[in-house]
Amino acid sequence: MNALIRFITQECYFFLPMLMLSLVAAALVVWRWLLNLNARTNMEDFLPVFQDKLQKEGVESALKYCRSQNGIIPRKLYAAGLESSRQGIAAMKRAMANAIELEILPDLNFLLAPILAIAKVATMVGLLLTVFSMINTFSAIADAGKSGQSSNPQTVTTQAGAIGLALFGTAGGLMIAIPLVFTHVLFKARVNKSEVEMKSAAQRLLVLFQTLKPKQGDLKSGAGGGARPEPARR
């Protein structure tokens, strides 16, 4: 603990860059976590309401309902599919595939590259600070040898403590990098899981629309009046 306090107070020009990297990394991780929370959709609660609006009120009402949601599946995926519903099932499928590839996945991968970059940079910065500190320490040892003080026990103890302080740079970089790499892996796993969920949700929309389309057609065909009377038999 005393060595850490000495590192913070005496080697502040090493400690401040590491502190800034850790604060930026923490802010990015919290930001990405909040975005993931906002992108979630409880499909068990959403689908019954969506299906009811689609069946009873039509595509326009279902589209408005999807756009009013915060989740990424209704707001972007289902909205893209419903906007292309007039062109047929194939157009809906293409629109949702494009939405996943060009809009949703880039949003889910947002901030992951900077998080991984900080993890790598923190390790290299820690090593760089350690190298600079070691150079200064060995230069001090060389100067002490020239002045004949290298055999002094106090000088040896002081330089050993300086070497120990230099290693705090490497330790600090690793302490920042290891949690960030682990967090990055978790976020990437979340992206892959979300991609599977979106493809499943898109398939459910296509199946739902296919089952509802004949009913809408029947309603349209019967909108002009009752059934035609059969011709009288002779």
90-117 pLDDT, tens per residue?
999 999 999 999 999 999 999 999 999 9
What is the Cα–Cα distance from 115 to 234, expressed in whole angstroms?
84
What is the Cα–Cα distance from 202 to 195, expressed in whole angstroms?
11
Per-residue confidence band for 163, with pLDDT thresholds at 50, 70 and 90? low
Output the pLDDT for position 226: 39
Q: Is the pLDDT of residue 215 over 50?
A: no
Q: Is the pLDDT of residue 129 over 60?
A: yes
Q: Is the pLDDT of residue 73 over 90?
A: yes
Specify the pTM. Answer: 0.76
Output the pLDDT for position 8: 62
Per-residue confidence band for 225, with pLDDT thresholds at 50, 70 and 90? very low
Per-residue confidence band for 132, with pLDDT thresholds at 50, 70 and 90? confident
Q: Is the pLDDT of residue 158 over 90?
A: no
Q: Is the pLDDT of residue 86 over 70?
A: yes
Contact 110, 190 (CB under 8 A): no
What is the Cα–Cα distance from 212 to 218, expressed in whole angstroms?
10
Q: Is 40 left (phi over 0), alpha (psi -120 to 50) or beta?
A: beta
What is the Cα–Cα distance from 144 to 218, expressed in whole angstroms?
97
Output the pLDDT for position 1: 53
Tokens describing residue 94: 């293409």
Contacts 24+ apart (CB under 8 A), 19-24: 21/118, 21/121, 21/122, 21/125, 21/176, 22/122, 22/176, 24/118
From the list 189, 170, 32, 216, the residue with the least C-alpha distance to 111 is 32
Per-residue confidence band for 231, with pLDDT thresholds at 50, 70 and 90? very low
| Averaged pLDDT, 17-42 | 92
Count CA atoms within 13 Å of residue 152 on its CB side.
13
Per-residue confidence band for 146, with pLDDT thresholds at 50, 70 and 90? low
pLDDT in tens, 201-214: 999 999 988 887 54
What is the Cα–Cα distance from 58 to 42, expressed in whole angstroms?
22
Round the average pLDDT of the chain to a whole number and report it.
81
Instruction: State the DSSP H helix or E strand holding residue 34, giving kind and residue range, or none if neither.
Output: helix 12-39
